[in-house]
Amino acid sequence: MSRVAIVTGGASGIGRALGTALVRRGDRVVLADVDGAAAEEAAERLRATGPGTATAAVVDVREADAVASLVTSTAERHGRLDLLFNNAGIGIGGPVEELSPAHWDRAVDVNLRGVVHGVQAAYPLMLRQGHGHIVNTASLAGLLPGPGMAPYATTKWAVVGLSLSLRGEAARRGVRVSVVCPGGVDTPILDKGMPADLPRVPTAELTDARAAITRVSGGRLYGADALAADVLRGVDRNRAVIVAPRHARVMWRLMRLSPGLVLRLQTTIATRGREPAGARPTAPVAAEVSRR
């Protein structure tokens, strides 16, 4: 049966791959993105391939009213909303002492409030329908500590908490909620850097984010199309937490077995290659990190 889906951040990377996989399955998809031209281009390509349909919408997920009207207009047009992928997100990181409140605000506004806005708009509608599935994109950084990317990790842990809490509330009322926690995926986010209108973060400017994420991902990035297939499989099976690829699942398991060990590992990997040799944490310092 053809389903009706909204994918935020649908113009690029994981969102675009999700849109492609949904259209390939025959679904009717709205690619919603702050980059309207890129969303339109992506939708046009998908319309040409089918068998499902795709339309584009310009939406900034930071704006609650805009997200609400996206949800309402989609449901009115198609008669219902089956799937909402709250996927739009940005990377905000750097050493905490170099960050300003503006960095934290931006991370929270897009990565957390953006998801909250989607939930607040779609959940009551799905309750009225008696069905629906909300799929929030967090990150493996929402399950593990993220030294060097505290704002990003903070928002992603919050998205995991929001998703699992809502899942508990929604389960008996016919609405499903899943959270997606990918490891490093090869998408444009890795090359975008910080939003240009925020104060400069010198260390972040010197850091090759793609190389750093590849390092914490076991030396290899995952493909967006492969991840989208994993996500749709997880959604079909109503998984609470969808973690991919395998390396990410191993790290998540390790985190549950030994959080101290994972914190030490993440700290060592995150600082490697960023600080001058003399400033690298010594083994006793790294051990101290995990003891606290």
Ligand X SMILES: NC(=O)c1ccc[n+]([C@@H]2O[C@H](COP(=O)([O-])OP(=O)(O)OC[C@H]3O[C@@H](n4cnc5c(N)ncnc54)[C@H](O)[C@@H]3O)[C@@H](O)[C@H]2O)c1
Task: Look up 152 and say whether it is catalytic.
Answer: yes
The single residue of 85, 123, 152, 222 carrying the catalytic annotation is 152
Q: Is 182 in the site for ligand X (CB under 6 A)?
A: yes
Q: Is 59 in the site for ligand X (CB under 6 A)?
A: yes
Q: Is 213 in the site for ligand X (CB under 6 A)?
A: yes
Q: Is 8 in the site for ligand X (CB under 6 A)?
A: yes
DSSP string, 204-234: HHHS-HHHHHHHHTTT-PBPHHHHHHHHHHH
Q: Is 139 in the site for ligand X (CB under 6 A)?
A: yes
191/271 Cα distance (integer angstroms):
19
Q: Is 62 in the site for ligand X (CB under 6 A)?
A: yes
How far is C-alpha 129 from the geometric centre of its chain's CA atoms? 26
Q: Is 187 in the site for ligand X (CB under 6 A)?
A: yes
Q: Is 55 in the site for ligand X (CB under 6 A)?
A: no
Q: Is 60 in the site for ligand X (CB under 6 A)?
A: yes
Binding mask 114-133 for ligand X (x = CB under 6 A): x-------------------
Q: CB neighbours of 247 closer than 8 A, spacing ≥ 6?
A: 183, 217, 218, 220
**Which of 36/281 has CB closer to ligand X?**
36
111/154 Cα distance (integer angstroms):
10
Residue 139 sits at the vertex; the CA angle it makes with 9 and 217, to the nearest 5 degrees, is 115
Q: Is 225 in the site for ligand X (CB under 6 A)?
A: no
Q: Which residue of 177, 185, 235, 251 would you call a contact of ligand X, by CB under 6 A?
A: 185
DSSP state of 173: G
Q: Segment contacting ligand X (CB under 6 A): 19-27, 99-107, 188-196, 278-286? A: 188-196
Q: Is 18 in the site for ligand X (CB under 6 A)?
A: no
Total residues at interface with ligand X (CB under 6 A): 30
**Which of 35/225 has CB closer to ligand X?**
35
Q: Residue 90 pairs with which residues in a beta bridge?
A: none
DSSP string, 234-261: HHHTT-SEEEESHHHHHHHHHHHH-HHH
Dihedrals phi, psi of 197, to nearest 5 degrees? -85, 0
Give yes or no for a contact between 98 and 201, defined as CB atoms under 8 angstroms apart: yes
Q: How far is the CB of 37 from ligand X (least distance, A)?
A: 10
Give yes or no for a contact between 248 and 181, defined as CB atoms under 8 angstroms apart: yes
Q: How far is the CB of 192 from ligand X (least distance, A)?
A: 6
DSSP state of 34: S
Q: How far is the CB of 287 from ligand X (least distance, A)?
A: 29
Binding site for ligand X (CB under 6 A): 8-9, 11-15, 33-35, 59-62, 87-90, 110, 114, 137, 139, 182, 184-185, 187-189, 192, 213
Which residues are annotated as catalytic?
Answer: 152
